[in-house]
Structure 1
Amino acid sequence: MDVNSFKQINDTYGHAAGDNALCAVTTALRSSLRITDLAARIGGDEFFVLLPGSNEHSASEVCARLRNAIQDVSVETRDGERFSLAVSIGCVTSRGEEMTIAELFHDSDLKLYREKQADPTRDAKSVRPQFMQQHYANQRGQAVGVHASDA
């Protein structure tokens, strides 16, 4: 999983805002995962989440819960500006086969890359000030205040 447009967050709002964004993602992870799940930041804006005992259906549910929790986050900068977050997730399961964590990580990384390639505008959409998201949501006929950046 990685935070979309993380470099843009740092470049636009500063590294303190980027740190706040990472803390917000961590909070969303904690609130969305089971006690048996394992989440680790593996560098920059990338996280790896291991869901022991999960099948495709339950893993997909966790991914959806994570997306929703993270897109509901509103990060405030030191200047009082607010921005929301979006993530890309490469969700894979072992499908009952024996797989090492390294193999799961590799497969999830490939799927994450494909997800980003499928929507090349994903990064451009994910870091918008809140008032811009409300404007775009209204233009699409959605409710005011929608914070989902990949809607």
Structure 2
Amino acid sequence: MLRDLFINLTILVTFHYLFMLVFKENFLKKEDTLLRQLCKGMLSGLLGVLLMFFSIKAGPAIIDLRHIPLILTAFYGGIAQTFIAACIVIIGRLLIEANVASFINIFSMMIIATASFLIAERHINHVVKMLLSITISNVIATILFITIVHETSFELHFAYWIFSYIAGLFNFYVIEHQTKAYQLLNLYKFQAHYDFLTGVLNKRKFDEVLSHAFSTKWKQSIHQMSLIYLDIDYFKSINDQYGHHEGDIVLKEIGTRLIKNTRSSDFIGRIGGEEFAVLLPNCSVEKTWQIAERLRRKIADQPIYLQDGTSIQTTVSIGCAYYPGTHTDIKKLPIIADQELYKAKQSGRNQVSFSERMRNHLT
């Protein structure tokens, strides 16, 4: 029996590991696309069918762990996936043998699926929910053993209950561990690429994107691009007057407005304390000017509310560089953008400076 239990545990763990590799962040999404829900439900059901073929011999009787995938699907997948999985298990059972026992078994699968889903929706401890689901499943199985197979052996029922708890809780632990590991990996990836405060790219990642943009590969597919440098005006005075915590709120709000008012194809980065940059692939001179002006207005025209409810007006100075423009060397874009930003500051702040503006008569 222990050998059979080990095989079943190996099947369950291997399946759930592969399941997470395939679906990744969608693994635990209950509100998913219909196609993904169908796929996840069918795969969980097929796992239940597979476990029927690797049943555990317990004396004269045979027990299996087909209910474990149903419980775990109810716990992590939601109602649609649970009943899809239950239907697949039922079809698999009928294909093996269709008799009175199989139809009673079908009824039990639906009860287990329903009960597990209702328990999973309760706001109680996850381990308690898993124990309740397994216990209900075990009670149903015990009743079926006694009424259908007429098996009253205490050793058999005890073995089934123990194996069921081991398989259910062990796989629950494995899934929870995998989930936390995947969440941590995503968090580390985010922290490696994004600024934790503003949600835009950090300087290292933005420099990497910029370097990639200057490479031959990008120049072949992108014939024009623009770079915007943006600096918050008098940000030091905001920190001095309201404190660094309130200054962080300003930075976060600026990052949010940059994201909302640029294209999905653009790259936004925080490259200094109060300095941001926006890379605009395939962006014309006219469009660059429009985006830069829109960013300036969206920041200047709408107040930023601090934690205590105080509203402050914030402005930004913006410098723009365009390729191919007056300078044919694409790698000079950061230098030109920085020079234009300096001009915007020297000219009174809260404005856009763009070397191409006069040449192209932009308004």
Please give the range of the TM-score, normalised by the shorter of the 2 chains.
0.7 to 0.9
- 1:51 is matched with which residue? 280
Larger RCO, structures 1/2 (Cα 8 Å, 6+ apart): 1
Q: Secondary structure at 1:35's aligned position in 2?
A: coil
- 1:70 is matched with which residue? 299
Residue pair 1:67, 1:87 contacting (<8 A) in 2 also: yes
Q: How many residues align?
A: 119
For each residue in 1:40-75, what CA deviation from the matched residue of structure 2 results, as whole angstroms up to 9, or x when unmatched?
Answer: 000100011100011211100000110111113322
For each residue in 1:66-86, what CA deviation from the matched residue of structure 2 results, as whole angstroms up to 9, or x when unmatched?
Answer: 011111332223443210110
Structure 1 position 109 matched with structure 2 position 341: no
Taking the aligned partners of 1:63 and 1:42, their CA distance within structure 2 comes to: 17
Taking the aligned partners of 2:284 and 2:310, their CA distance within structure 1 comes to: 40
- 1:99 is matched with which residue? 330
- 1:2 is matched with which residue? 231
Structure 1 unmatched ranges of 5 or more: 124-151
User: How big is the shift at 1:98?
Assistant: 4.8
Q: Secondary structure at 2:255's aligned position in 1?
A: helix
Map of 1:1-151 to 2, 5 A cutoff? Answer: 1-95=230-324, 97-100=328-331, 103-119=332-348, 122=349
Q: Secondary structure at 2:323's aligned position in 1?
A: coil
User: How big is the shift at 1:91?
Assistant: 1.1
Larger-gyration structure (1/2) = 2
Taking the aligned partners of 2:253 and 2:338, their CA distance within structure 1 comes to: 22
Q: Secondary structure at 1:89's aligned position in 2?
A: strand
- 1:130 is matched with which residue? none
Residue pair 1:17, 1:75 contacting (<8 A) in 2 also: no
- TM-score of the pair, normalised by structure 1: 0.73
Residue pair 2:324, 2:330 contacting (<8 A) in 1 also: no
User: How big is the shift at 1:111?
Assistant: 0.5
Taking the aligned partners of 1:114 and 1:106, their CA distance within structure 2 comes to: 13
For 1:3, give the aligned amino acid: I
Percent identical residues:
39
Structure 2 unmatched ranges of 5 or more: 1-229, 351-363
